[in-house]
Amino acid sequence: MTPSVSKSGAGYTVRTDRTVLRPWQQSDLDPFAELNVDAEVMRYFESALTSEQSNRLARCFIAHFETRGFGFWALEIPGVTSFAGFVGLAEISFAAAFTPAVEIGWRLARPLWGHGYATEAARGAARFGFDVLRLAEIVAYAVPSNVRSRIVMDRIGMLRDPAADFEHPAVPAGHPLRRHVLYRLKAPT
Ligand SMILES: CC(C)(COP(=O)(O)OP(=O)(O)OC[C@H]1O[C@@H](n2cnc3c(N)ncnc32)[C@H](O)[C@@H]1OP(=O)(O)O)[C@@H](O)C(=O)NCCC(=O)NCCS
């Protein structure tokens, strides 16, 4: 199904069969902090987040929407939950061999894993990136052991570019989570 896109003052909303990618609301902050403190959700990050760090991250996402008109959307699953996590697109803020680039990313609360929501919403976000933003390419990255995330990349048709594996500059040298693999998705021709 082709996702539907609408625009309001707060930004774009993308709807797929079961998911809604929508602008952030104040009421998302508490459930966002809840998922960011969950050790299983944050297993492939340096640490879980305090609620202050979580709120700061949400503010960064909102600022990205305000300056670029797109970003990591709040993910709603109608009939299930008004906030499942985030899925979306963002300009990569660090320098690497593959930047400047727009990345696709996702993070869902643990009870919402295993339903295909991340993959479905990511397909909608990628389609938005190509149809509305006219991107030529979208990238994604993960630590090699983050298999669930890499499977979402595979499922949406991304291809790993082994030559572009990199050390994440925000992770300290020598840290086991510093090495990342890079995936690419080209715009359909
Ligand atoms: C990465 C992440 C979003 C993936 O979540 P996920 O639940 O594995 O992925 P999906 O939502 O696409 O669900 C796929 C699963 O739903 C199942 N599924 C059930 N009903 C389905 C349906 N109707 N349609 C499609 N899949 C369905 C699939 O078979 C698959 O099951 P499996 O896990 O047994 O293989 C999640 O693990 C997460 O938030 N991780 C923490 C944050 C993180 O690491 N982010 C990425 C950083 S790089």
> How close is the Cα of 9 to the center of ligand 1, in Å?
31
CA of 46 to the centre of ligand 1 (A): 21
DSSP conformation letters of 59-83: HHHHHHHHHHS--EEEEEETTTEEE
Q: Is 123 in the pocket of ligand 1 (CB under 6 A)?
A: no
End-to-end CA distance of the chain: 18
Strand partners, 186: 137
Whether the per-residue pLDDT at 1 is higher than 80: the answer is no
Please name the residues in contact with 149: beta carbons below 8 A apart, sequence gap of 6 or more. Answer: 44, 106, 140, 142
72 lines ligand 1 (CB under 6 A): no
Distance between Cα 147 and ligand 1 center (Å) = 10
- Looking at CATH, the fold of the domain delimited by 4-186 is given as Aminopeptidase (3.40.630)
The domain limits of the chain are 4-186
For ligand 1, say whether the CB of 36 is within 6 Å of any of its atoms. Answer: no
> At residue 128, does pLDDT exceed 90?
yes
159: how many CB neighbours lie within 10 A of its CB?
Answer: 11
Query: Which amino acid makes up residue 53?
Result: Q
Q: Is 41 in the pocket of ligand 1 (CB under 6 A)?
A: yes
Please state, for a pLDDT cut of 90, what percent of the chain lies above it.
95
H helix runs in the chain, sequence order:
29-36, 51-68, 117-131, 147-155
SS3 at position 85: strand
On the question of pLDDT at 19 being above 80, the answer is yes
Using DSSP, state whether 89 is helix, strand or coil.
Answer: strand
Pocket test for ligand 1, best of 38, 77, 115 (most atoms within 8 A of CB): 115
pLDDT bracket for residue 189 (50, 70, 90): confident
pTM (2 d.p.): 0.97
Residue 138's closest CA among 74, 79, 185? 185
Residue nearest to atom 22 of ligand 1 (CA): 116
